[in-house]
Amino acid sequence: METKLSTGIFVGIVISLIATMSSILTLAATGWQMFAFILFAIVCFAMPVALMTMELSTTLQGRGGPQLWVKTAFRPKWGFTSSWLLWVQMFPSMVMIASTLCPLFGVMIGQDQLGDNHWFTLAFIIVFYWLITLLNLKFDMAKIGGAIGIWLGVYLPMGLMFILGLASFLKRGLDPHSMLGAFSLHGTIPSLTDAKSLQYVSAVAFIFTGISTTGVYAPRLKKVTHDFPLGLLLALTVVVLLNLVNAFLIANVIPAGSDQLDNIAEPVIRYCQVLGWPSWLAQVFSLLAFLGVALPTVDLGDRAVADDGRGG
């Protein structure tokens, strides 16, 4: 029998599922427009999905999450279909996630060039697939990720990034030659005719994907009607703040013209250069960020299928 989750652990699980380091880079690339983009994503995507997830999770208090909701509304075969689709989409998703882990792993061991080696990336993806499969068979990765992984993989690396970024900001101030650039009210509003600005609409909204999948954890909460809405709202608030604050500090240190960033460790390396601090801090950050990307993925894919089978 699965042990019940406290509200704090549930908040950690939700944050670990939603908060990703790569989303901070995407938001940073929008410059001063990040505030408009994040507001649009919250109003038009995050909150509607969150409210729907709260309502369905607290009303249909059974195993399965989205699978249970669809099954109740459209018969069991469509519930199975939704669960199967959620599971199948994890295959390309985990390939993408594993490939983004390679640069972090390279920085972590002091071999930055490994992130550009295609053969190493292929081997890394295969090992990553098997590792998460074996871990799911052996351990309750939801509880481990929510209680321990969230500290190692999200709070600590993002906290370290924030401290370094704030120290760099206090030392240099607002850099008009950075990706953020000089402030202007006009510059905070995305242009409806600028394709370069609009390309970030879906990318920023993507920050909040995974909200509906948190419904699979509803049966494991002690008091679903109270803990689930509270935990989900707290988690979303933390995710927004973590993304916005760190994206702002990163955009102020990356030179203008660097529209796309591939490695989340790059801002930390630049912070260390600005502050004159030791470069091994970037290696520590890469290790923690590596865990932050890997641990949520370990649980999510098999959770949907497992709950489908037990949900009947």
Are residues 108 and 100 in contact, defined by beta-carbon separation less than 8 angstroms? no
Which of 135-144, 179-188, 237-246, 294-303 is modeled with the greatest confidence? 237-246
What average pLDDT does the segment 161-189 reach?
87
pLDDT digits (tens, 9 = 90+) for 265-301: 888 888 999 999 988 888 888 888 777 666 555 554 4
* The pLDDT value given to residue 237: 92
In a 3-state reduction of DSSP, which class is residue 104? helix
Six-digit token string for 18 = 């939603």
**Residue 303's closest CA among 207, 226, 218?**
218
Q: In this model, does residue 148 exceed pLDDT 90? A: no
Q: What sign does the dihedral 55-57-62-68 (CA atoms) show?
A: positive
Are residues 235 and 155 in contact, defined by beta-carbon separation less than 8 angstroms? no
DSSP type of residue 2: P
Per-residue pLDDT band at 302 (split at 50, 70, 90): very low
Q: What sign does the dihedral 100-265-243-14 (CA atoms) show?
A: positive
Q: What is the pTM of this model?
A: 0.78
Query: Within a 10 A sphere around the Cβ of 309, how many other Cβ atoms?
Result: 12
In whole angstroms, what separates CA 55 from the centre of its chain?
A: 23
The C-alpha atoms of residue 158 and residue 220 are separated, in whole angstroms, by 28
**Structural domains of the chain, ranges and CATH numbers in brackets:** 7-311 (1.20.1740.10)
Per-residue pLDDT band at 303 (split at 50, 70, 90): very low
Q: In this model, does residue 108 exceed pLDDT 50? A: yes
pLDDT digits (tens, 9 = 90+) for 255-271: 887 655 667 788 888 89
Query: Helices 34-41 and 224-251 sit at what angle, rounded to 10 degrees?
Result: 160
The C-alpha atoms of residue 153 and residue 267 are separated, in whole angstroms, by 17
What average pLDDT does the segment 236-252 reach?
91
